[in-house]
Chain A
Amino acid sequence: KQEVTQIPAALSVPEGENLVLNCSFTDSAIYNLQWFRQDPGKGLTSLLLIQSSQREQTSGRLNASLDKSSGRSTLYIAASQPGDSATYLCAVPRDDKIIFGKGTRLHILP
């Protein structure tokens, strides 16, 4: 059974800091891993998708890494801004569905 865990559950940091969000998964036989952003009461916005053959994927100030063998992924956010405040979810596919972690609720202090 695949389980996805995200640590920490919540994080508050001052604006401008670099930060790392963590995701771990129990079954390393994954096709890919996807990071999403969710604003309060809103939908899921895909941020980055890393294929199992990749180790990193970058989009602007976001960098996601994947270590399949250890069952871990990190989302690195550089030079954080108040607009980055949201919940960040990681998710992996299993059979014909996606399994989500509970997310990390990020608050960037102005």
Chain B
Amino acid sequence: EPEVTQTPSHQVTQMGQEVILRCVPISNHLYFYWYRQILGQKVEFLVSFYNNEISEKSEIFDDQFSVERPDGSNFTLKIRSTKLEDSAMYFCASSPTGATYEAFFGQGTRLTVV
């Protein structure tokens, strides 16, 4: 069964460093998303991406964040200068036709900023 794949599963980085989280969405899906979940809190939307551009972003997704689809298969989230409060589980998701259809989530990348 097709699945969304995220790498790495766990990343530790020093405050102020740049990190790139990687995702391979399901191959025929057109909509891609990043969500995050701070430990013990709810899953929060960060950004949605369609047709090679951001379609919606939350107030969390400030200038420190960027997304890219560098080739036909990968979808990345970059955090330019990490802060302690960026420590969270980051989930990538994809959907064939957007929010009106089922979303499929990856297993997440646990980011720890020290």
* Chain A interface (Cβ < 8 Å from any Cβ of B): 31-32, 34, 36, 41-46, 49, 89, 91, 93-103
Contacts and interface: CB of A to CB of B under 8 A. Distances in A.
Given A43-B105, A97-B33, A32 B45 contact: no
B102 interface: yes
A98 B99 contact: yes
Contacts of B101: 32
A44 B105 contact: yes
Given A95-B56, A96-B55, A102-B42, A46 B103 contact: yes
Contact of B56 (A34, A89, A97, A101): A97
Contacts of B103: 34, 46, 98
B60 to A, nearest CB: 12
Contacts of A98: 33, 35, 45, 93, 99, 103
B102 A34 contact: yes
A73 B91 CA distance: 24
Given A32-B100, A44-B91, A97 B45 contact: yes
B33 A31 contact: no
B102 A49 contact: yes
B99 A94 contact: yes
